Amino acid sequence: MAHKKIQSALISVYYKDGLEPIIRELHQHGVTLYSTGGTQQFIEELGIPVIPVEDLTFYPSILDGRVKTLHPKIFGGILARREEKHQAQLAQYEIPEIDLVIVDLYPFEETVASTSDEKTIIEKIDIGGISLIRAAAKNYQDVAIVASRNDYPFFLELIQSKQGSTALEDRKELARRGFLVSSHYDTAIFNYFNRGVQEPLFKHSLIQHETLRYGENPHQKAVFHGDLEQLFEKLGGKAISFNNMVDIDAAVALMREFLNDDPTFAILKHTNACGVATRPTVLEAWQAALQADNVSAFGGILISNTKIDLATAQAVDEIFYEVLLAPDFDPAAAELLVKKKNRILLKIKHFDVQARNFRSLLNGVIEQDTDLAIEAESDFKVVSKKAPTNAEIKDMIFANKCVKHLKSNAIALAKNAQLIGMGCGQTSRVDSMRHAIEKANRFGLDINGAVMASDAFFPFSDSVQLAHEAGVTAVVQPGGSIRDQDSVDYADAHGLAMVMTGVRHFKH
């Protein structure tokens, strides 16, 4: 494919880092440079000739820099097709052709992240830059566009290898990258203005990505769109897989509920917690969490709400796990744990959970508010004749946090701030109840005096009856069934305490 030599370039960028080698390469090939403001000064300080845009437009930068390049003599030189009719008009109005545009955009997203001052944010909405990108990308048949400093290395290698020229396929690829930049930028601006409005449309743009080893199964390909480095510092271990990512998401969401509690440790398998415990020390929390199900813990996801010390690391290191997450690690603990190369070690930077979540479904996407509700004692409505004791209330709060993060139909049994049994993902709630009891018994955990939490109402009193017969003394549930009274009556007849929260935590 024939190459087109770059003879003129407009360069106007916010970020100058990485620009110098490109400017020197263009100068070496005799390219005429046009520029504005700070970029013009940057080029001049390199000792390279540059023509101010004002010399073309005969207008200075006006309105506090809001208008610099928005002029027919700039956009005419970019948008003109290299054909007789357009060439004649360029000659008539003394408009020079522009073969290359290097421009970036004001840092809108970074500004939104760093300040809430609307005036400052609005001033970072780029007008000239976005227009230059779109114009040059539209005319890729004749014009090359470099729309981001991330593309500087690609473009530099291109003009070095092709002696200051570009091929049509190069310009089309640069146009594609340019429209990627502009579409992402516009989406970020729209989402800023759309905050709180929740217009029923789906607009998200995630540029950063990480290719995963494979998807849910080896024959499936997978990519994570997002920036893991914002959330975690990876201290060691193999590449994160699709299933790891899903489990990590579930683990962070669960542990977020316990951020303000004493040391808490959780073990998850296939997004469900099989062990959770709160204790005076992180080591004791680990031991109690493992006690609940030391079989499922094998190959699980481990997470703590506090720093991992050496003693805990030594205990954890005795079993095989996939991922261990914590807000921090003692140096000696980290040194020990990173020795196992197949075990992923993540330091959590923050436990933020997105306010909205979505997933692909049928031929579209379903989006909803994230379930961020969690009930405190003040949300408990005692519906039984017997009121729960203070100890039972504490365990009900604990169990309710756990059951919220189990797949429905979900049941959690807890005693002394320890998850001692759980049932989830069953087709009936009574099956989940049987499973929770069976697990507690299988691992030798005493259900007498335990509490039960349910993620949704009881359609019949059978689950409450099973719980009572196993030794449960208090129940927390959302209520909402037309037969709620059946469960309340059973509780009253057998001396159980029961509270309702009015909030369902059903999780498909």
DSSP state of 192: H
- Which one, of 503, 476, 483, 281, lies nearest residue 397 by Cα? 476
Q: Which of 86, 172, 270, 394 is catalytic?
A: 270
Coil vs helix vs strand at 21:
helix
Check: CB of residue 346 under 8 Å from CB of residue 324. yes
Kindly tell me the sign of the dihedral angle through the C-alpha atoms of 196, 197, 201, 207.
negative
Q: What is the DSSP string of 322-362?
A: EEEEES-B-HHHHHHHTTSTTSEEEEES-----SEEEEEET
Active site residue 270: yes
Pairwise CA distance, residues 33 & 403, whole Å: 64
Pairwise CA distance, residues 131 & 72, whole Å: 12
Per-residue H/E/C for 293-333: CCCCCCCEEEEECCCECHHHHHHHCCCCEEEEEECCECHHH
Which positions ≥6 away from 347 have C-beta within 8 Å?
232, 233, 234, 235, 325, 326, 327, 328, 329
Structure tokens at 462: 């059978």
Chain-centre distance for alpha carbon 381 = 36
Q: Which of 138, 162, 386, 394 is catalytic?
A: 138
Check: CB of residue 483 under 8 Å from CB of residue 507. no
Active site residue 138: yes
Tell me which H or E stretch contains 123.
helix 118-123
- Which one, of 487, 500, 501, lies nearest residue 429 by Cα? 487
Give catalytic residues, as residue numbers. Answer: 138, 270
